[in-house]
Structure formats: C-alpha cells, structure tokens
Amino acid sequence: MTGRLEGKVAIITGAAQGQGAQEAQTFVTEGARVMLTDVKPDVTQIAQQLGAAASSMHHDVSDEQQWQEVVRKTLSTFGKLDVLVNNAGIFAPARLNETSKESFIAHFNVNQLGTFLGMKSVTDAMRANGGGSIINISSGAGLRGYPEMISYLSTKWAVTGMTKATARELAPFGIRVNSVHPGLIDTPMINGKEGDADWLREIAATVPLARIGTTADVAEIVTYLASDLSGFVTGAEIAIDGGTGL
C-alpha cells in the first residue's frame, strides 16, 4: 500500500522541533521526500533520523536570498517541488503597553514576511511542476482575538488573509493554498511549559474536547492538505483546536 504522499517533494520550515518535526516525520512515513529547514542546528539531526528521504538546511525565513537557495537545493536534491509547509513561527506574548517595537518587528519578520517569501519563492517551481500545495500554519489566534498577543495575532491574521488572496491568484496554475489554525498544541511554543502536567491539565479543562492537541493532530491535517485527497480544497481555513473557537 502506497502512502498518501508517495512521490511528492516538500519543504517544511521550522522543522527542528514541535509541529515541524512531526510533519516531516509523517510526510516521510507517507512516502514524501522532504527538505527540512530551521535556524536551529537540531534540524540536521532530525533530517538524519529520517534517512535518505530527508535533507536539511539552515534557513532564516525572513531572508529572501536564503529562500531562493532552499528552493534551488530542493530541486537539485529531489528533482521537483510539490509542497510547501510554512511552519516556522515565533510566539512571545505581552500586554500592548509592554510590547516593544523590536518584538513586534521580530514577529512580523518570521511569521508574516517568512510566509510571504515562502509562497513567492516556490511559485515558479510549482508552476513548472504543473501545480502544488502550499500550507500556511496560522493559528486559532488568526481567527479570533486574544489579549496580550498583539504581535502574534497581527501576523497570524495576516497569514489567514494572505492565504486567501494567494489561493485565488494561484488557482489557475493548479497551486492550492490553505491555512491551518492550531489551538492549544503541546509544543515548546506554549510558554516553554511542554511537559508541565499540572499546567496542561488546567488549560485542557478550557477545551470542549477536554484535551490539549498533539503535534500528530496537526500533522494529519497538513498531510491531507499536501495530498491529492484534498485536490478540490483551496483557500480554506481549518481549525485544529478541539472546539475552542466554537
């Protein structure tokens, strides 16, 4: 039985840990070959663990030249490009009056500019390949408002909007663009409290499905959007939040 992503080639950013690392593992299991990128050196080890179907690069997603090099290396290593997962992101919550200009710009550079540059950089390769799938990791915070998150929310709402605009623009070329909106997912991004069982139980009680999401929950939806099973899905915003946004 072949995997859902058999023969596909993907770039996944922010793949050194958390959701990105899980997405890479799931993609390889499902038959894809994957270029993992991150600013963290751990991305090399993750790629090595995945074997010959994976390669890695150091990559600052806010640098357009580095994006071009990632695409070039992906094409030279694997021969084509079918999927981009714009997963890289930062999250540093703070009250409005305590949010520095530097923090606001840092969120913009990684979460919003990085996503824009990623979509722009892969379009030609996907058009040459006859189509593709771009999956932008937004957030539940990209669908509603939360206090003390102005920097993060501003970028994630932007990702939601950019996804819809780009989905309309790239549809004639067979390139689908969708956004995924994780809620509370057990990763290091949750205030560095990964593994804090008491804290996780407290916040799980606020979720209608009464649990925290896992990186596997997110990876399954991302895999679906990367696969041909979602061939008529574009411009969608898919919440993975256990009902928190209801």
Residues identified as active-site: 152
What residue type is assigned to position 18 of the chain?
Answer: G
Handedness of CA 15, 25, 225, 214 (dihedral sign): negative
Distance in angstroms (rounded) separating the CA atoms of residues 37 and 139: 20
For the chain, give me the number of helices (H) and strands (E)? 8, 7
**Contact in structure between 235 and 168 (CB atoms under 8 Å):** yes
**Which residues lie below 8 Å from residue 120, measured CB to CB, with a gap of 6+?**
64, 67
Distance in angstroms (rounded) separating the CA atoms of residues 113 and 105: 10
DSSP 204-245: HTTSTTSS-B-HHHHHHHHHHHHSGGGTT--S-EEEESTTTT
Reading the block at residue 220, the tokens are 């399954």
